Amino acid sequence: MTDQQERPQIYLVTPPEFELSSFPDQLARVLQSTDIACLRLSLATRDEDRLTRAADAIRQVAHDADVALVIDTHVVLAERLGLDGVHLLDGSRSVRSARKTLGADAIVGAFCTNSTHDGMTAGEHGADYISFGPIGGSLGDGAHAETDLFQWWSEMIEVPVVAEGGLTEDGIRTLAPYTDFFAIGEEIWADADPVAALQRLIAAMNG
């Protein structure tokens, strides 16, 4: 992943479920519509066979568009399938192990909810980026990532930061000055026209 530019970059996240027969074409249209920094395979299942088939279905689409492909949680699958890295969901706890397994060139990201301490620890352990969220709504425990977290992080910490979860046009407009990436997934896949939905969100980044 790359450094912040004038506006945040798009970090695209797959739907939690998709049809292997149709989603790759839909994904290709989105990847061709604008610059995408990274793609994350984020399925609800833990079944390795299903994850492997899904990764096989979208890997070439991503690489044809010159977009890195990472996978949620599964360090072993990331290595086995030759993916570009892993997105860890347990904060800083697995970062060091994932980095050791995947090597220095792999992308290792960490979702740290709204904990700056966890984010800083993950960065110290070798994470390439830290993800905070949700922005809109909350997790079951009420956790929510506020704007001032991103403002503080952007001023104090060099590790790139990703905003994700429950993104709206207003939320994106507010956070755009303070985040390096927006992780966008269900916000567009739930729309009948994902390309148009993505363009609306990009417009919000530009003010």
For residue 2, being part of any structural domain is answered with no
For residue 102, being part of any structural domain is answered with yes
Residue numbers of the domain that contains 182 = 9-205
> Which tens digit of pLDDT belongs to each residue from 32-87?
999 999 999 999 999 999 999 999 999 999 999 999 999 999 999 999 999 999 99
For residue 68, being part of any structural domain is answered with yes
Q: What pLDDT is attached to residue 3?
A: 42
For residue 3, being part of any structural domain is answered with no
Q: Does the CA dihedral 7-164-17-106 come out positive or negative?
A: positive
> Which tens digit of pLDDT belongs to each residue from 86-134?
999 999 999 999 999 999 999 999 999 999 999 999 999 999 999 999 9
> Which tens digit of pLDDT belongs to each residue from 128-186?
999 999 998 766 666 789 999 999 999 999 999 999 999 999 999 999 999 999 999 99
Instruction: Give me the number of domains the chain comprises.
Output: 1
For residue 92, being part of any structural domain is answered with yes
For residue 1, being part of any structural domain is answered with no
Report the CATH number at residue 136.
Answer: 3.20.20.70
For residue 100, being part of any structural domain is answered with yes
For residue 4, being part of any structural domain is answered with no
**Mean local confidence (pLDDT), 10-39:** 97
